Copies of this chain bind each other. A is one copy, B any other.
Amino acid sequence: MKALILNGTLKPSPEDSNTGALAAFVGAQLTERGAEVEHVRLVDHGIAPGVVSEEVRPGDGWPAIHDQVVAADVVVFATPTWLGQPGSEIKRALERLDALISETQEDGTPMAFNKVAGFVVTGNEDGAHACIGAMAQAAIDIGFTIPGQAWTYWNKGPGPSDAAYLTAPAEEREWTHSTGAAMAHVLVATARALAAAPIPRPPNA
């Protein structure tokens, strides 16, 4: 089983990424359950704006990531929270994935069918459910299956602050980690169930 984690932090390497750190936790949980995990930090790849899978301009980093998505059984969309919403990097990746709606597997099944998706959100303020909802709605449109409770997040209480996942004390990350382990559990179990009994080509394909 192959898992791909798309980290939508706005900060290029080698800066610390809270989102990347929590995504790494989830990645380790996926590895423990038998998945081969790859991480992509989107902002490092110069993804061009667009809605096709092919290169939009020279240096466009998307085509390689597209191929990683196509090869994956599990895709985790990870994003920071800005203004209560997902960041523009994960938004850009989902936008490029719009093209998957009209791509098919060899047997005519839509490309994303039988792939599962989950979500990771970090932020110094409220907004995780909205980020999960926006990413889930887009992923469902594309054809990913979303297992129940296939998400985790870390943020804090009312108002902005300097608090962050990376610097939070262990007890404030406990729920986030417990939820992240459960997320890995449901992703792997659902991917296995769909691998054993895949959704066949639908009547409108």
A interface residue numbers (CB < 8 A to B)? 10, 43, 49-51, 82-85, 87-89, 91-92, 94-95, 98, 110, 112-113, 115, 125-130, 132-134, 136-151, 153-159, 172, 175-176, 178-179, 181-182, 185-186, 189-190, 192-194, 196-200, 202-205
Oligomer copy total: 4
CA of A157 to CA of B138 in the docked complex: distance in angstroms?
19
Q: Which of B94, B133, B143, B158 contacts A128 (CB 8 A)?
A: B158
Residues of B within 8 A of A203 (CB): 178, 181-182, 185
The one of B50, B95, B127, B133 that contacts A136, using a Cβ cutoff of 8 Å? B133
The answer to whether B204 and A178 have CB atoms under 8 Å apart is: yes
Distance in angstroms between the alpha carbons of A199 and B189 in the assembled complex: 5
Q: Once the chains bind, are B133 and A84 in contact (CB under 8 Å)?
A: yes
